[in-house]
Amino acid sequence: MAAQPDWNSFAQRALKGEDFSRSECLQILNADDDELLPLLHAAFLVRRESFGRTVHIQVLANAKVGACPEDCGFCSQSSKQGSPSGESPMDTVESLVEAASQAAAISAKRLCMVTATRGPSSKDLDVICEAAREIKKKYDIELCASLGLLTEAKAKRLAEAGIDRFNHNLETSQNYFDKVVSTHSWADRVNTVKLAKASGMETCCGGIVGLGESEEDLIDLVFALRELKVDSVPVNFLDPRPGTVMAGRERISPQYALRALCLFRFLCPTADVRVAGGREVNLRSMQALALFPANSIFTSGYLTTDGNTPTDDIQMIRDAGFDIEFDGVEPDMQRAVMETEGKSARVSLPVTN
The domain that holds 238 is classified in CATH as 3.20.20.70
Percent of the chain's residues with pLDDT above 70: 90
Percent of the chain's residues with pLDDT above 90: 76
Q: What is the pLDDT of residue 304?
A: 62
* Mean pLDDT for the stretch of residues 138-142: 94
What is d(CA 48, CA 54) in angstroms, rounded to the nearest whole number? 9
Does any domain span residue 330? yes
8 A C-beta contact, residue 299 and residue 308: yes
How does residue 76 score in pLDDT terms, banded at 50, 70 and 90? confident
Q: What is the pLDDT of residue 79?
A: 85
Does any domain span residue 7? no
Mean pLDDT across the chain: 90
Q: What is the pLDDT of residue 66?
A: 80
Does any domain span residue 68? yes
8 A C-beta contact, residue 87 and residue 65: yes
Q: What is the pLDDT of residue 347?
A: 37
Q: What is the pLDDT of residue 341?
A: 54
Instruction: Measure the N-to-C terminal CA separation of the chain; round to a whole number of Å.
Output: 42
Whether residue 328 has pLDDT greater than 50: no
How does residue 349 score in pLDDT terms, banded at 50, 70 and 90? very low
User: Looking at per-residue confidence, does 305 or 96 come out higher?
Assistant: 96
Whether residue 114 has pLDDT greater than 50: yes
Which burial class, exposed, middle or buried, applies to 118 when counting CB atoms under 10 A from its CB (0-12, 13-18, 19+)?
middle
Q: How many domains would you assign to the chain? A: 1
Does any domain span residue 15? no
Does any domain span residue 202? yes
Does any domain span residue 268? yes
Q: What is the pLDDT of residue 170?
A: 98
* Mean pLDDT for the stretch of residues 144-172: 98
Domain around 284: 22-341
* Mean pLDDT for the stretch of residues 326-353: 46
Give the single-character DSSP code of 207: E
How does residue 302 score in pLDDT terms, banded at 50, 70 and 90? low
Q: What is the pLDDT of residue 280?
A: 96
Does any domain span residue 14? no
What is d(CA 235, CA 220) in angstroms, rounded to the nearest whole number? 14
Does any domain span residue 214? yes
